[in-house]
Structure 1
């Protein structure tokens, strides 16, 4: 493997001159520069990144820990594909900044995270992003003296910078649109109550009713997510048996909405003529292919990834924070024909 001394000898210059050409940190004559570049090309010389890191304390490397590669969502999985989309948003920003993103997958094992962090530190990454599979609290360990960390789609109890989807705002916007369309009895089949997002979305549901001066009927809000789907069947039965059934039913995610279409049709209930349906996530493989296409709200996962990357870049550059934690990213309502006006 060629060294800087081989390049200097081939170009007839000193190693210091080769270093100046490589780092562009001092003036070098055009003829000399061309001779050095020609020698580099002929010898196939590759500069030592380790040496550059020691000189500048900047490796240009960013570490990212995720489970997006190994985690393949199953049907009914409440997580959809957030990790993959978040990683894409992160990559987009670091590519623009000429940073190299090093991705390590947990393989679904949280106990591997400390070892991955240690490996990244050995490679002198400038910062780390940890991407969770769904909105939740995490115990990611941030060590003193280590690279700065930003959490994406998760948060901790010690104030590590974090970026989260604004579940409350998203649900509030969706229900507000349903109310604008004339719906007053709005059913809500939620994800599991153990999920942070569920509580926040119920708050958003209540916010939209309060904004419109409407009371909330607690009988319209039912937990309905389980892998065997039986809670959805019983929850739907309870909604339809109410003295005044809902005119629209919101679901905790688009997969649940897809199942709801089938359950309603087995009962002879037409969507949206008799009951409208709304989802959550804007999982387009479902929302755009259902008939009728599904009204839903988009969780902006790519934007979440972009914002996490920008936050980390700001921390690395020692910019003023300019924001409180966590940063919450809202998403738009995507109106399709599964909801009809009343």
Structure 2
């Protein structure tokens, strides 16, 4: 015989509503031990959710839909999806992801996701940027992840870029570096905010902001791996000057990799002559450099976990943009 919610409620000595909340994520306020006890009992009795019936009754299925603007293809932004899925599974929810494409724009993709009657929909991007969703699509999305609306009014989770740059620059300065330079990411919101944090840290230490020691890592107005690199030329010019930097903050770990190579060609030692620090913590790069790279780890997994709690009503939805802090990963490049 099929086991019902009533059977589990009777065996557990609780209400059917409590059982439904424990098994289907419908209760935002429940003790963890109660939820775990009910879930264990449901497994023991062989309970299987009737998803079509539940969808008709509740108006939604135990699904979180993620509309991804490039996020699946990013080597480390996939941690957003992993974090979200891991947290959602604790509430007996599943995550499905579909992507925006040239053939299907954001509005059409979100409308397609709505047909599956998910509990909630999130919109995630590959890198931190502004997004402008059409009105109907905007209403359907419960949370923006790794992106924000231009008026900052929409609920969104983004990396705390400015604070991360302040933290890593402050770290360099507290380790005795007094002439830091910055190889930035042109055309990206992350680059703009990271530069602001770099400047803020210098002012906080009563150090001058030397404009000649702040420069784009690539030519053109937008950072990409395909753009022409300026790293070798900039570092060569800096080290040839009378006021050479004793530290270089890089816009990301890929730029740091280039900076290592440039310094080695010029005979400079890391960190003895020039310290290097960066952003992202792309482990395949940062941990394998010699010496290993000190960097700020992007909070993508934490953003995914927090997104799941927000979308399922377990955590209060932010009013506007919520910045999630990076984590400093100390290695031996400073």
Q: Distance in 2 between matches of 1:289 and 1:132?
A: 28
Residues 24 and 291 of structure 1: CA distance in aligned 2, closer, same or farther (over 3 Å): same
1:324 alignment partner in structure 2: 319
1:92 alignment partner in structure 2: 86
- After superposition, the C-alpha distances for 1:257-279 in whole angstroms (9 at most, x for unaligned) are 11111111112222222211112
SS of the aligned residue for 1:234 comes to helix
Unaligned stretches of 5+ residues in structure 1: 1-10, 12-17, 30-44, 74-80
Q: How does 1:159-174 map to 2 (within 5 A)?
A: 159-174=153-168
Q: Distance in 2 between matches of 1:223 and 1:122?
A: 44
Unaligned stretches of 5+ residues in structure 2: 12-46, 220-225
Q: How does 1:27-106 map to 2 (within 5 A)?
A: 48-66=50-68, 67-69=70-72, 71=73, 81-106=75-100
* Corresponding position: 1:214 with 2:207: yes
4+ runs deviating over 3 angstroms = 25-29, 45-48, 108-112, 144-148
Q: 8 Å contact 2:293–2:333 — kept in the other structure?
A: yes
- After superposition, the C-alpha distances for 1:116-167 in whole angstroms (9 at most, x for unaligned) are 2122211111111111010100123352896442111001135221100001
SS of the aligned residue for 1:116 comes to helix
Give the RMSD, CA atoms, in angstroms: 2.7
Residues 25 and 54 of structure 1: CA distance in aligned 2, closer, same or farther (over 3 Å): farther
The CA deviation at 1:254 is 0.6
The CA deviation at 1:332 is 2.0
Residues 228 and 242 of structure 1: CA distance in aligned 2, closer, same or farther (over 3 Å): same
Give TM-score scaled by structure 2 length.
Answer: 0.79
Q: What is the aligned length? A: 292
Residues 293 and 27 of structure 1: CA distance in aligned 2, closer, same or farther (over 3 Å): closer
* Corresponding position: 1:336 with 2:318: no
- After superposition, the C-alpha distances for 1:92-133 in whole angstroms (9 at most, x for unaligned) are 111111111111133x54843323212221111111111101
2:20 alignment partner in structure 1: none
1:188 alignment partner in structure 2: 182
The CA deviation at 1:301 is 1.0
Q: 8 Å contact 2:286–2:293 — kept in the other structure?
A: yes
Q: 8 Å contact 1:58–1:126 — kept in the other structure?
A: yes
1:177 alignment partner in structure 2: 171
* Corresponding position: 1:135 with 2:134: no
The CA deviation at 1:225 is 2.7
- After superposition, the C-alpha distances for 1:177-227 in whole angstroms (9 at most, x for unaligned) are 1110111100101111x1111111111111211222222111111111353
Q: 8 Å contact 1:183–1:248 — kept in the other structure?
A: yes
Give TM-score scaled by structure 1 length.
Answer: 0.78
Residues 115 and 131 of structure 1: CA distance in aligned 2, closer, same or farther (over 3 Å): same
1:242 alignment partner in structure 2: 241
1:307 alignment partner in structure 2: 306
For the pair shown, which has the larger CA radius of gyration, 1 or 2? 1
The CA deviation at 1:234 is 2.3
The CA deviation at 1:230 is 3.4
